[in-house]
Structure 1
Amino acid sequence: MPFVEDMRDVEVIAPNFKRRLSGVTSTIIQLVPVQNRLGQKVATLGPGLPGDLPAMRWRDLPALWKAPGRRPLRIWHARRNIEMLPGILLRDVLRMKLKLVFTSASQRRHSAWTRLLVSRMDAVVATSRKTASYLGVPNTVVMHGIDVERFSPPADKAAAKAACGLNSGQKFAGCFGRVRHQKGTDLFVDAMIALLPSRPGWSAIVAGRTTPQHAAFEAGLRQRVRNAGLADRILFVGEHADINRWYRALDLFVAPQRWEGFGLTPLEAMASGVPVVATDVGAFSEQIVGGAGETGILVGPDDLPAMVEAAAAFLDDDGRREAAGHRGRSHVTANFAIENEARQLGLVYAQAIGGD
């Protein structure tokens, strides 16, 4: 890990105090390099992060009594309770030169403890308008973004399928993410079991990690697929670090979550030129465009008949599917590039420091 040599060069600290990989950790991993590329001088603090991210050591904490080189204060950007509380202690008890920023993706009323912590922040960021409605304090909505170069359409769709070891003559619907009940993987599988027998030109892909506590859930899904005689057309391909290649092989993406904090997979699919059918959870309603600018279709959570109907509308209409894919790519590049997220956070930081 490239540890920071001179703390005067650190203007923003991104603490990560949870070892287990989560959506929050993934956000830090994706965002910090972009923020630094834009000159925001961010260093991480804590475990569970890749070795190529700039990081400060615990022994560097005393440096926070001094201002960084260019600004009168540093930003401590927390994303969890366990990161807000230390920030409050460093600022209010130890009197370190910090302003505290908190990002929330939660879409429920916070506990009294969390509300107390949030009330002590200098600035609060919500990742969606839906999240903002639960906060009860002034906040700024900054939607997550993605790398629109990494997630991009293939020059040759057939070649993209072949590169993943797939039949280049088939069309594929996909569901990517952790395999578990909350993510609705069973809804996707059941939808494909309903749709594929009468559509021989289509197959389906389930990609994502299955943790040990959800192994029985996945085993049950595989058995349902075998019972339906579709084991050669509904493929479980596991977790892939190069998931962008698998998006390029798709013709339709389904995000069947029962609950979600924000959810990046529809953005990754649309950036790859793939239309989306998604449940109305998380920030999906703020990502996907319907009507004349259609990039996908929203359905109610846990509504299998609606999901089947929406997926069929794309499976059976090549023109509609391709047009939605093109519009999705344009929509994401214009509104959800990760550079936009980093720039908006930079404005939040500047305003927090300016409010001293």
Structure 2
Amino acid sequence: MESEVILGNSNARFSGVTSTMLQCLEYQRQWISVRVLGKHFLPDGEMNVKLWELITLAREPLPGGRWRVFHARRNDEMIQALLLKHVFGVKIKILFTSTAQRNHTGFTRWLMAHMDAVISTCQAAASYLSEPPKAIVPHGVRTDIYFPANKRSEELAHLGVHTRYAIGIFGRVREQKGVHLFVKACIDVLKNNPDYTALIVGAITAKNKNFVAGLKEQIQQAHLQDRILFLGEQPFEKIPRLFRAMSLVAALSDNEGFGLTVLEAMSSGAAVLATEAGAWPEVIEQGKEGYVVPVDDQPAITEKLDSLLSDPVALENMGRAGRQKALEKYTVEREAKQLCEIYRSLQ
């Protein structure tokens, strides 16, 4: 098997990790020979390699004695790679991307200690590693898919929004994502900012139905049910257009591995209001592309949202600055190139 790189793809449920892998893959397959262990969500089934194929076909190194690289992004993918290498004798070097911003379990630390290299996506995640990572490779965004609207008014009309501007929060609707903080801030702020509608975009699971019912009751009591709207889960292909309608996107999670929402918003020309989670404090320059506030700080969120909505011109300028930063520093192509350089350094 001549493939230089094997990518782990062990999760049958679509996640941010899956999205990152697939977006980078679109570029990497142009530059290197790559196969994917796990068929989930692959656009091209021929890229999938089965475990038995790796075991039987990859026991010899590549021509010239070069090593294949197995890129793991999850614990179970590290386990797969270690079994392939040490039990079945597959000739691979193993790379792991660590994104977690928390103390790792003893088992995870043991797995990482047996990697040939560990990288991270931001300094915050790197700070939880026992040794400095080989590199920091920030995630990127598809700037050709997430781009500003030519006429935001047309995007709003498409959504049936009748105010001049829209703000939003994206992701599964649950407390960990800070949706309750967003709703409370909107209730306090929208009454004095009649030009704005707030949109909440994301799946509502059975577990969170009571949580959402409580939020809807608060909205109803404030008589804002026409201006704070739950759109539910949206098809993946419709998400970029929703971002294009936004003047501001809030990202208020308790914690994040990286947090692509902010990059998707910036690339779409929206200002951002985010908590000090994930890579957000490293991505957002205060007052330039938006603002970062402490986690779970309702007064700070409400105060900053009120300030931002009171100045649509400043919001527009922040959105332009965010788009420029995404183009310069946070494209998927840039991320994919950096990863390919690391793969080659391990071979």
Q: TM-score range by the shorter chain?
A: over 0.9
1:268-347 alignment, distance < 5 Å: 268-291=264-287, 294-347=288-341
C-alpha deviation, 1:170, in angstroms: 2.3
Confirm whether residue 16 of structure 1 aligns to residue 16 of structure 2: no
- Bigger drift between 61-70 and 154-163 goes to 61-70
Q: Which residue type is aligned with residue 266 of structure 1?
A: V
C-alpha deviation, 1:181, in angstroms: 0.7
Counterpart Cα distance in 2 of 1:252 and 1:174: 7
Confirm whether residue 152 of structure 1 aligns to residue 147 of structure 2: yes
Count of residues paired in the alignment: 342
1:51-90 alignment, distance < 5 Å: 51-52=43-44, 54-61=47-54, 62-68=56-62, 72-90=66-84
Contact 2:9 2:36 in 1 (8 A): yes
C-alpha deviation, 1:174, in angstroms: 0.6
C-alpha deviation, 1:71, in angstroms: 6.7
Contact 1:15 1:44 in 2 (8 A): yes
Higher relative contact order at CA 8 Å, sep ≥6: structure 1 or structure 2? 2
C-alpha deviation, 1:145, in angstroms: 0.4
What CA deviation, in whole Å up to 9, does each residue of 1:293-327 have, x standing for no partner? x1010101111110111111210012211111111
Q: Which residue type is aligned with residue 216 of structure 1?
A: N
Contact 1:107 1:282 in 2 (8 A): yes
How high is the TM-score relative to the length of structure 2?
A: 0.94
Contact 2:67 2:346 in 1 (8 A): no
Confirm whether residue 206 of structure 1 aligns to residue 200 of structure 2: yes
5+ residue gaps, structure 1, are 1-6
Partner of 1:42: 34
Identity of aligned residues (%): 39
Confirm whether residue 142 of structure 1 aligns to residue 137 of structure 2: yes
Q: Which residue type is aligned with residue 15 of structure 1?
A: G
C-alpha deviation, 1:47, in angstroms: 4.8
* Aligned-residue CA RMSD (Å): 1.5
C-alpha deviation, 1:46, in angstroms: 1.8
Contact 2:156 2:166 in 1 (8 A): no
How high is the TM-score relative to the length of structure 1?
A: 0.92
5+ residue gaps, structure 2, are none
Distance 1:52 1:295, change over 3 A: same
Distance 1:68 1:214, change over 3 A: farther
